[in-house]
Structure 1
């Protein structure tokens, strides 16, 4: 099955949504801070991005890693379209 390409924002939102549905996290009312996906060359499993340094995630690392790996297997990180608002600080 071909992977669907998604933007950084969409991948981050999807990972966040799935993490917040982890039973232990939902039961304790925790809010895990999700970082932006970081692109990298395709690995042996064909994945082109990863995430690290989740905030407020102590004790949930394995469950979060499983979610991230599932989303990595499902979606490719695509190029974000250029912002419609120019960067006042240059490129």
Structure 2
């Protein structure tokens, strides 16, 4: 399956949206901090990013992991994160 490509901000927003729509998260009224995705070499599934260190997620690790697995199967991180332009031309 071909993955859609999103930039880091949009990918972070998508994971955040899905986590905060989970019934157990809504019921508990918890706000889980979603970190920015980190670009990595594509893994065996073809996914080129991962997220670690979700904040305030104690007790929700399994749910967060389920969301992360689903989003990683659908999206790749755009390569623009690799291309940093030096504003000073060095």
- Would the TM-score normalized by the shorter structure come out above 0.5? yes
* Alignment correspondent of 1:32: 32
Note closer, same or farther for the CA distance 1:28–1:2 as it changes in structure 2 (3 Å cut).
Answer: same
TM-score calculated relative to the size of structure 2? 0.87
Q: Can you give the 5+ residue segments of structure 1 that lack an aligned partner in the other structure?
A: none
Give the superposition deviation at 1:21: 0.8
Q: Can you give the 5+ residue segments of structure 2 that lack an aligned partner in the other structure?
A: none
Secondary structure of the residue that 1:14 maps to in structure 2? helix
Alignment of 1:78-89 (within 5 A): 78-80=78-80
TM-score calculated relative to the size of structure 1? 0.86
**Structure 1 ranges of 4+ moved more than 4 A:** none
Aligned residue pairs total 88
Query: Counterparts of 1:87 and 1:59 in 2: how far apart (Å)?
Result: 43
Alignment of 1:1-91 (within 5 A): 1-80=1-80
Root-mean-square deviation (Å): 2.2
Query: Counterparts of 2:57 and 2:87 in 1: how far apart (Å)?
Result: 33
Give the superposition deviation at 1:2: 1.3
